[in-house]
Amino acid sequence: MERCVTIDGPTVVVVGAGYEGKRRCYERLVELGARLVIVDEPGHWSESLAGQSAGMQWVAAPFSGDPDADAAATLAVLERSGVRADGVLTFWEGRVCDAARVAAALGLPGNPPEAVDAARSKVRTRELSARLGLPTPAAQRVRSLDELFAAAADVGFPAVVKPEFGASAMGCVRVDDFESLPGVYKRVRAIVAPEHRAIFRAGNDLLLEQYLDGVEFDVDLVLQDGTCVFASVSQNWPTAEPSFQETGLHIPPDHNKAAVRKLVDLSVQTVRSFGFRRGVLHVEGKCTSSGPRVIEVNARMGGARIHQMVEAVWGVDLIEAQLRSCLDLCQAVKPSRKPRCAVVNAIVYAPATGRLAELPFADVAPDAGMGVELDVFGRIGQDVAGPDNIFATALAELTISGKNLRHARSRAAQVLRDPPRVLPT
């Protein structure tokens, strides 16, 4: 596929590199012609990127989880390093608030920090949505077990306990009765400890919110001057309740078209009402029995391989779209009128608790030309957690394309036909 012409040498500051799977995002930015200055905390894996390409520079700055302090630290190191930025961006959920502040302080294009803050905090997302008159599930902040019981009395069951500042469904658990609250509270509290996961340095309050029925979707948007110029919808597979761990998704969706359209419209209305006017945004929502509902707004591009999937199906490069936005350039998105293919993404978890003995599909050779990408996380001999532990260990993620959805699903089933084998310990 022919890509747009490269952009001529702007200096782009990347605030926080995120997990190592985002390496391909930075490689693509360099391909597009950007010179990157990646800012992250000392010892972060991204430091290795500086030696990979002449187009990548890395500088260290502390990351505390306080957006004002972290933005100030980033600005200070940029000044000491003599960096003159043309744009600022991040692909990492944990640093969206910092990036918005850095861009604003430098007078560079970006969304208002107030909008980004409201999206980053799931509590503030619910509060702002309610004030704006947007349909949103009932929710309450929770700081103690007593507050959880009080919130449950108001919100009712079924409900969902989740972190205020989480990502990737970490710490999200469905609860169906008062009896389950103490155990779930203890489990989630352990997960959100900031010393274990950097993303929770922003805060480890919880919230209890109304459980939503229906089918879940990801809506990836490109905004320019407050107008949505592109939207892609991914249909999520049923999650592994009670944990809400993602099991997979596919593009394009095969759900009721009118219902999906309403969810897209609500997603656009929500981000615009919050104050977003530009860039690539990732909205999660559901088509419920009561109509469309937004679950959360992410002030950045969707994670994992979503950008590759969107490009395969629609011919739109979300990384280029984000780069253009941060440089205040007109968007060049030209989506195909019809899906060019279908893509399935499947996540494989440990089927039981024990020691991983066999991962039959681990030797499948990735082949981008054939639309096969396999990310293997599990190691033979590794101790793994099964569904009985609520949060099972992810072993692999397969992304595979086909001429249509049926073909893509068939190809995925063939690759994953033999399940992992776990021995008891």
| 3-state helix/strand/coil string of 360-407 | CCCCCCCEHHHCEEEEECCCCCCEECCHHHCCCCEEEEEEEEECCHHH
Residue type, 53: S
Instruction: Return the pLDDT at 2.
Output: 37
pTM here? Answer: 0.95
Mean pLDDT by 10 residues, the chain (425 residues): 59 97 96 97 95 92 97 98 98 98 99 99 98 98 98 98 91 97 96 88 96 98 98 97 95 99 99 99 99 98 96 98 97 97 98 97 79 94 95 96 97 95 96
What are the distances in angstroms from CA 113 to CA 98, 105, 167, 338, 409? 8, 10, 19, 36, 41
49 touches 124 (CB < 8 A): no
Q: What is the rounded CA–CA span in Å between residue 325 and residue 339? A: 25
Q: Provide the token pair at 339.
A: 């899906």
Q: Which CATH architecture has domain 11-108?
A: 3-Layer(aba) Sandwich (3.40)
Count of alpha carbons within 13 Å of 267, Cβ hemisphere only?
A: 32
Which sign does the torsion angle of CA 402, 403, 404, 407 carry? negative
Q: Torsions phi, psi of 179, nearest 5?
A: -60, -30
Which tokens sit at 129? 């949505």
The per-residue pLDDT for 364 is: 84
Half-sphere exposure of 363 (CA within 13 A, CB side): 4
Q: Which fold has domain 341-425?
A: Aldehyde Oxidoreductase; domain 3 (3.90.1170)
Q: How far apart are CA 266 and CA 270, in angstroms?
A: 6
pLDDT of residue 51: 81
Residue with tokens 């012609």: 33
Question: How many Å apart are CA 209 and CA 204, to the nearest integer?
Answer: 16
Render the burial of 313-326: b for 16+ CB within 10 Å, e for the rest. Answer: bbbbbbbbbbbbbb
Q: Which fold has domain 138-210?
A: Dna Ligase; domain 1 (3.30.1490)
Tokens linked to 153: 């009395």
> What pLDDT shows up at residue 197?
86
Which pairs with CB-CB distance under 8 Å and at least 24 residues apart come from 189-194?
191/163, 191/391, 192/163, 192/166, 194/65
Query: What residue spans define the domains of the chain?
Result: 11-108, 138-210, 212-340, 341-425
Token pair for 261: 């359209």
pLDDT score for 422: 98
Neighbours of 194 (CB within 10 A): 15
Give the model's pLDDT for residue 3: 41
CATH of domain 212-340: 3.30.470.20
